[in-house]
């Protein structure tokens, strides 16, 4: 076991806030229905996540099975530049498994909402606090870094949440996580909760947010949490996870960097290879319109947009695609205009007259109106036909 050399503070001291990224593709992401990975498959993904630059890799939930325990142990042994963390309920049996897997950190959790305490845990609020504190003290006595999650925090009485977090911070937790377990937060409610915890819990700790996507707001809520003072976000590649999934790492990391202007360690030029690995292992097809990594994220067809892009890319792109390892594509179709056709023809090595461009565009629109998808090969056929091969 070693402590990874990652930044652990909310502020770098250079005026630029640093936000930690805890990747949970191998834990919450593996809880996606129908997914089960072998230890060697999990290790391969962990190595790719380390290469991507995540601060912390949540490798799994060791109590789940012997294979899961093995996977976490191997990952803890092989990963050197990201922290390795594993999940445990606030019970000795789970904590012992994490201790034996020899990770850097432990992710302890207990539910704090009335509905969970009453119907799932069958514990009183006071008993929940006692369990949480006992778990933190026990894990701490074994030298583990402690991240503590209040499960269902966003449906928890905020005053009770403060009491729980204050108790675990006093017992030695260095990161406290607000889990939006069933995805009911929205940006302003998440920001309010982060601010409330920040101002009411005393001590030295980082606030983390763990957002689920049940209402499609996991990315927005994570960003709102960071804006309000969270120093870490939990995310998974492509947002894989339970039900509608978790916050998508590639989206949150890009928003933190390019919209909020904060630092992370994510190397976007590695994102595509990690995404490819996850799509293969998790059997996914990326929707073309998926933010940042979808095929259409930086594609342009409409005549007005292509004209703008060709004059200055920032007219219709929020950032240069190369900043997130993507490429710009000019797509030809029914909505194309003259500038796009001229651009594509030049790309194909032609220097056409205006009248030729007009004729090619007319033919493209005829084909598109018949439902035919016009690719560059078809454009080339059209220009040969229009120009009579000349």
Q: Which residues bind ligand KIV (CB under 6 A)?
A: 28, 87, 109, 149, 151, 179, 181, 210, 212
State the pairing for strand pair 232-235/56-60: unpaired
Q: Residue 299's beta-bridge partner residues?
A: 329
Neighbours of 294 (CB within 10 A): 16
Give which of Zn ion, ligand KIV, none residue 232 binds (C-beta under 5 to 8 Å, depending on kind).
none
Cα 88 from Cα 277, distance rounded (Å): 27
For the four alpha carbons of 189, 192, 197 and 198, in that order, the dihedral sign comes to: positive
Q: Among the candidate windows 20-28, 100-108, 191-199, 312-320, which touches Zn ion by CB under 5 A?
A: 20-28
Count the neighbouring beta carbons within 10 Å of the beta carbon of residue 83: 24
Residue 181 or 264: which CB sits closer to ligand KIV? 181
Q: Measured between alpha carbons, how far is 64 from 83 in angstroms, rounded to an integer?
A: 21
Q: Between 35 and 286, name the residue whose CB sits nearer to ligand KIV.
A: 35
CB of 34 to Zn ion, least distance (A): 17
56 binds, among Zn ion, ligand KIV, none (CB under 5 to 8 A by kind): none
Nearer to Zn ion, 61 or 165 (CB): 61
CB of 172 to ligand KIV, least distance (A): 19
Q: Closest CB to ligand KIV among 149 and 219?
A: 149
Structure token pair of residue 102: 């020899």
Q: Tokens 């409610």: give the residue.
A: 189
180 makes contact with Zn ion (CB under 5 A): no
In the complex with Zn ion, the residue whose CB is nearer, 10 or 153, is 153
Q: How far is the CB of 9 from Zn ion (least distance, A)?
A: 25
CA distance 22 to 233: 6
Cα 233 to the chain's mean position, in Å? 8
Query: Which residues are bridge partners to 18 per DSSP?
Result: 263
Minimum CB distance to ligand KIV, residue 149 (Å)? 4
Residue 28 as a binder of Zn ion (CB under 5 A): the answer is yes
CA distances from 130 to 60, 88, 137 (A): 25, 16, 11
The listed partner (Zn ion, ligand KIV, none) that binds 149, CB under 5 to 8 Å by sort, is: ligand KIV
Least spacing, CB of residue 60 vs ligand KIV, in Å: 12
Give 212 or 281: the residue with its C-beta nearer to ligand KIV: 212
Q: Which residues bind Zn ion (CB under 5 A)?
A: 28
């Amino acid at each position: 076991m070693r402590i990874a050399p990652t930044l652990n503070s909310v502020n770098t001291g250079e005026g630029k806030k640093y936000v930690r990224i805890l990747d949970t593709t191998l834990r919450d992401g593996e809880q996606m229905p129908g997914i089960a990975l072998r230890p060697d498959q999990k290790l391969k993904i962990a190595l790719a996540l380390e290469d991507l630059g995540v601060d912390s890799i949540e490798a799994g939930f060791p109590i789940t099975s012997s294979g899961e325990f093995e996977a976490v142990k191997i990952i803890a042994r092989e990963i050197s530049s990201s922290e390795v963390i594993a999940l445990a309920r606030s019970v000795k049996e789970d904590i012992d498994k994490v201790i034996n897997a020899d990770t850097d950190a432990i992710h302890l959790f207990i539910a704090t909402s009335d509905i969970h305490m009453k119907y799932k845990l069958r514990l009183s609020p006071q008993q929940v606090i006692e369990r949480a504190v006992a778990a933190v003290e026990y894990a701490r006595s074994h030298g583990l870094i402690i991240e503590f999650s209040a499960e269902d925090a966003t449906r928890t009485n905020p005053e009770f949440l403060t009491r729980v977090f204050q108790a675990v911070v006093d017992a030695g937790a260095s990161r406290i996580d607000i889990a939006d377990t069933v995805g009911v937060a929205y940006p302003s409610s998440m920001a309010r909760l982060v601010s409330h915890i920040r101002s009411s819990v005393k001590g030295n700790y980082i606030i983390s947010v763990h957002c689920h996507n049940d209402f499609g707001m996991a990315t927005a809520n994570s960003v709102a949490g960071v804006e309000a003072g969270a120093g870490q976000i939990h995310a998974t590649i492509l947002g894989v996870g339970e039900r509608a999934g978790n916050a998508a790492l590639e989206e949150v990391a890009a928003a933190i960097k390019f919209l909020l202007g904060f630092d992370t360690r994510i190397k976007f030029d590695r994102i595509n290879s990690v995404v490819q690995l996850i799509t293969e292992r998790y059997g996914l097809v990326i929707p073309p319109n998926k933010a940042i990594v979808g095929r259409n994220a930086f594609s342009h067809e409409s005549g007005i947009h292509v004209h703008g892009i060709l004059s200055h890319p920032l007219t219709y792109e929020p950032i240069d695609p190369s900043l997130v390892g993507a490429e710009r594509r000019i797509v030809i179709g029914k909505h194309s205009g003259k500038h796009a056709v001229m651009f594509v023809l030049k790309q194909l090595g032609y220097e056409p007259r205006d009248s030729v461009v007009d004729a090619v565009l007319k033919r493209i629109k005829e084909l598109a109106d018949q439902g035919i998808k016009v690719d560059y090969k078809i454009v080339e056929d059209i220009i040969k036909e229009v120009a009579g091969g000349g």
